């Protein structure tokens, strides 16, 4: 788990692929966000405390509990955290299941600009910093 402080928004990254997770954390931190990272949905559920992150960058395809399952679970406990889904599978990103949920999903590899726009859209928090 990597955590870096930021005076701006707090982003939680849930991604099982370690190199990808590291890279995402690096790009977010360099953009000035406060970032916490988790290797699985269960890990996120177990370790995250109040205050909730301002935004969740959530991989759809996770072992055991998938990104969508985590979303359902958070809704049930009324932790309404804005989520940006990410996936390496273009077909799933464009699937009806996601469209019906009205969620935002980005396809890997993710350009930093696309990422920033998505985060700002779901949080209405314009990231500030060096970028």
Partner 1 sequence: MRIAGLLTLAACLVTVPSREAIAAYTRADASPGTSGGLSVCLSLHPIDLASGNLPVLPHGAGKEWAARALHQQQPSGSVGAQPADAETQAGLLSRYRWAIEGVVGLIVIQAGVIGWLLVERRLRQRAQQSLDDALRFERTFGQVAGLLAAGPASERAVHDALQRVAQYFDAEHAAVSEPATADRPFHLAAEYVAPGSTPLALDAERRRLPEVAAILDSGGTWGGDKGAPVGKPGTTSGNIGALMASPLRAAGQTGGALIASSVNPHPDWTREHERRLDAFGEVFANVLALRRARLILHEHEAFNRAVMGAHGGEVAVFDQSGTVVAVNEAWQRAADREHGVLADAQPGTSYAGGSKARPGQRPASMVSAIASVLNGGPPVAQADVEWDVPQGRTWCEVRVRRLERPEGGAVVSHMDITARKRADLQVQQHLHEMAHLNMVSAVGELAASVAHELNQPLAAVLSNAQALRRLMNSPSADPQLMREILEDVIAQNQRAGDVIQRMRRLLKKEKGDWQGVDLNQLVRDVAHMFQGEATLGGVPVMIDLAPSLPPVQGDRVQLQQVILNLLQNATHAVLAATIRDGGRVLVSTTLDVNGVAVRVRDAGPGIATDLLDRVFDPFFTTKRQGLGLGLAISRSIVELHGGHIVARNLPAGGAEFSFTIPVEAVSA
Nearer to partner 1, 19 or 51 (CB): 19
Nearer to partner 1, 23 or 52 (CB): 23
What the block records as the tokens of 8 is 């701006």
Q: How far is the CB of 37 from partner 1 (least distance, A)?
A: 13
Residue 21 contacts residue 15 (beta carbons within 8 Å): yes
Question: Any contact of residue 26 with partner 1 (CB under 8 A)?
Answer: yes
31, 35, 56, 68: residue in contact with partner 1 (rule CB under 8 A): 31
Which residue reads 């998938």 in tokens?
Answer: 66
22, 79, 101, 125: residue in contact with partner 1 (rule CB under 8 A): 22
DSSP SS3 for 101: helix
Residue 36 contacts residue 3 (beta carbons within 8 Å): yes
From first CA to last CA, the distance across the chain in angstroms is 24
Q: Is the peptide bond before 103 cis (omega within 30 degrees of 0)?
A: no
- The mark string for 62-91 relative to partner 1 (x by CB under 8 A, - otherwise) is -x------------------------xxxx
Binding residues for partner 1, rule: CB under 8 A, are 17, 19-20, 22-24, 26-27, 29-31, 63, 88-92, 107-112, 130-131
């Amino acid at each position: 788990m990597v955590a870096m402080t930021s005076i701006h928004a707090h982003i939680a990254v849930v991604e099982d692929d370690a190199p990808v997770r590291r890279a995402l954390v690096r790009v977010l931190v360099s953009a000035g966000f406060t970032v916490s990272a988790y290797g699985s949905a269960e890990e996120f559920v177990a370790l995250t405390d109040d205050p909730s992150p301002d935004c969740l960058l959530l991989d759809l395809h996770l072992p055991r509990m998938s990104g969508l399952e985590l979303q359902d679970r958070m809704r049930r406990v009324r932790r309404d955290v804005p989520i940006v889904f990410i996936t390496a599978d273009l077909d799933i990103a464009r699937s009806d299941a996601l469209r019906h949920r009205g969620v935002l999903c980005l396809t890997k590899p993710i350009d930093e600009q696309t990422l920033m726009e998505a985060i700002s859209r779901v949080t209405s928090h314009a990231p500030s910093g060096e970028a």
